[in-house]
C-alpha cells in the first residue's frame, strides 16, 4: 500500500478542495482497500465518508424512495419497502458477493466498484485501464468474464455489479455533490461509460464528486425478475445477469424494462429489446426476436464467445418467467 493521508469526514460540507483526483472516498472499503493493497489504486488522500449521516432510506415524493449512499447492501436488500415494491433490486443485491461482504458494502461503493478483469488485478500484466497506453492483457488472453457489448480495442472489461443492473432497469438516479458544493442528478444508466479510448475512466464522475443519494422512482407496473447466471451458486460474479420488469395486457406486452449485467463496461439497458417487445404478444418467438435485436452487435473475444448465446437464452428464459409461462416464476 502506498502511504497516504487519512481524513475522517463528519459532514459533506467538509469536503472541499482536498477532494481531487489524488483523493479517494472510503466507504465500506471492500473494493478500494483491496485495490490499494495491490497498489492498483494509490490515492494520496483517503477521505473516510463512512461516518456521514447518509445511511438512511427515506420515502420520497410520488411513491419514490431515497437511498443514502452509505446504506449497506444488506440493509437495502432487506428493507420492507424495497422487498415489496422493488423486489428486483432486493434480488439483485442478494445475488451479489457474500453475506459478510454485503454487510459491509455500501450503495455508492457498489455502484463504483471496479472491474474484476484478471489482468487489471495483476500489476505485472499490461492493462489500459490501469496504465493507459500499456495494452490490454485480456484482449488475446483469458476473457471468459469479459464484455460482448460496447467494448473497444482498448478495453473489454465488464462492470461487475448486480445491484446496478436492477437500478438501471428501475430507472434509478444518483444525486452528486461536487467539492464546490454544487449538486447535479444523473440517471444511473448515464453514470457508467463505455471504455472507448479512455478505459481508465469507469464513470462520468468529475474528480471529487460524491454520490450522496440514490433515487428510486415508483416502480413501473409488472412482474420483476432478476436472474444471475454464474459458475457456482454463490460467491461468484455474474457471467450474465438479466433484470426484467414485464407487464402484460391480454397477452400483449404493455410495459417492459430490461437490463443486462456482465456483458459490458456498464450495466446495460437493453432498449432495443424493449422496443422489439413493446405492444407485441408475449410469445417465445417474440422473446427470442427481442433478444436477437439487442445482441445483433454483440462480439466475443474467444473465451467469452459463449456469452452471446448465454445472454440470449437467459433473457428468453427470464421473459418467459416474468410472463408466467414456466409455472415457476422467480422473483
Ligand X SMILES: Cc1cc2nc3c(=O)[nH]c(=O)nc-3n(C[C@H](O)[C@H](O)[C@H](O)COP(=O)(O)OP(=O)(O)OC[C@H]3O[C@@H](n4cnc5c(N)ncnc54)[C@H](O)[C@@H]3O)c2cc1C
Residue (211 or 291) nearer to another protein, CB: 291
Q: In what order do the strands lie in the sheet with 210-216?
A: 57-59, 65-68, 210-216, 173-177, 183-187
In the bound state, the residue with its beta carbon closest to ligand X is 109
- Which spans of this chain sit near ligand X (rule: CB under 6 A)? 24-32, 49, 69, 96-97, 101, 104-106, 108-110, 112-113, 160-163, 210-211, 237
Residue (183 or 285) nearer to ligand X, CB: 183
Residue in this structure with the C-alpha cell 443486462, named with its chain if needed: 260
Partner from ligand SF4, ligand X, another protein, none binding residue 26, C-beta < 5-8 Å depending on class: ligand X
Pick one of 199, 222, 261, 267: the residue that binds ligand SF4 (CB under 6 A).
199
Q: Which three cell numbers stand for residue 131?
A: 496504465
- Site track for ligand SF4 across 88-127, x = CB under 6 A: ---------------------------x-x-xx------x
Residue (157 or 225) nearer to ligand SF4, CB: 157
Instruction: Choose among 104, 91, 141: nearest CA to 243.
Output: 91
For the segment 282-311, give every residue that binds ligand SF4 (CB under 6 A). Answer: none
For the segment 134-193, give every residue that binds ligand SF4 (CB under 6 A). Answer: 136-138, 155-157
Distance of CA 166 to the CA centre of its chain: 8
Write the CA distances from 62 to 71, 172, 213, 218, 280, integer angstroms.
Answer: 21, 14, 17, 7, 29
- Smallest gap from Cβ 193 to ligand SF4, in A, equals 13
Q: How many CB atoms lie within 10 A of CB 327?
A: 6
- Smallest gap from Cβ 191 to ligand X, in A, equals 10
Residue (108 or 137) nearer to ligand X, CB: 108
Fill in the DSSP letter of residue 228. E
For residue 178, with 0-12 CB atoms within 10 Å meaning exposed, 13-18 middle and 19 or more buried, which class applies?
Answer: middle
Instruction: Choose among 191, 194, 217: nearest CA to 206.
Output: 191
Footprint on this chain of ligand SF4 (rule: CB under 6 A): 115, 117, 119-120, 127-129, 136-138, 155-157, 199
Amino acid at each position: 500500500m502506498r502511504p497516504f493521508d487519512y481524513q475522517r469526514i463528519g459532514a459533506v460540507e467538509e469536503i472541499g478542495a482536498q477532494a481531487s483526483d489524488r483523493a479517494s472516498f472510503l466507504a465500506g472499503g471492500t473494493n478500494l482497500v483491496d485495490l490499494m493493497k495491490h497498489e492498483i489504486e494509490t490515492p494520496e488522500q483517503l477521505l473516510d465518508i463512512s461516518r456521514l449521516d447518509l445511511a438512511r432510506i427515506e420515502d420520497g415524493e410520488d411513491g419514490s424512495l431515497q437511498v443514502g449512499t452509505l446504506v449497506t447492501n444488506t440493509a437495502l436488500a432487506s428493507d420492507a419497502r424495497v422487498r415489496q415494491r422493488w423486489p428486483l433490486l432486493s434480488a439483485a443485491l442478494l445475488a451479489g458477493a457474500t453475506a459478510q461482504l454485503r454487510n459491509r458494502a455500501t450503495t455508492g461503493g457498489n455502484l463504483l466498484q471496479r472491474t474484476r478483469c484478471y489482468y487489471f488485478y495483476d500489476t505485472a500484466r499490461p492493462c489500459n485501464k490501469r496504465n493507459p497506453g500499456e495494452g490490454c492483457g485480456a484482449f488475446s488472453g483469458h476473457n471468459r468474464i469479459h464484455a460482448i457489448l460496447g467494448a473497444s480495442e482498448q478495453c473489454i472489461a465488464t462492470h461487475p455489479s448486480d445491484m446496478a443492473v436492477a437500478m438501471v432497469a428501475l430507472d434509478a438516479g444518483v444525486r452528486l455533490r461536487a467539492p464546490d458544493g454544487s449538486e447535479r442528478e444523473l440517471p444511473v444508466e448515464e453514470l457508467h461509460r463505455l471504455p472507448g479510448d479512455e478505459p481508465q475512466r469507469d464513470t462520468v464522475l468529475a474528480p471529487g464528486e460524491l454520490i450522496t443519494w440514490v433515487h428510486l422512482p415508483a416502480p413501473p407496473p409488472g412482474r420483476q425478475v432478476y436472474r444471475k447466471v454464474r459458475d457456482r451458486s454463490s460467491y461468484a460474479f455474474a457471467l450474465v445477469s438479466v433484470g426484467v420488469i414485464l407487464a402484460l395486457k391480454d397477452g400483449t406486452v404493455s410495459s417492459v424494462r430490461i437490463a443486462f449485467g456482465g456483458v459490458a463496461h456498464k450495466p446495460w439497458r437493453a432498449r432495443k429489446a424493449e422496443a422489439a417487445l413493446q405492444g407485441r404478444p408475449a410469445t417465445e418467438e417474440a422473446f427470442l426476436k427481442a433478444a436477437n435485436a439487442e445482441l445483433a452487435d454483440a462480439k466475443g473475444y474467444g473465451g467469452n464467445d459463449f456469452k452471446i448465446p448465454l445472454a440470449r437464452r437467459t433473457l428468453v428464459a427470464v421473459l418467459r418467467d416474468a410472463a408466467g409461462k414456466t409455472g415457476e416464476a422467480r422473483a
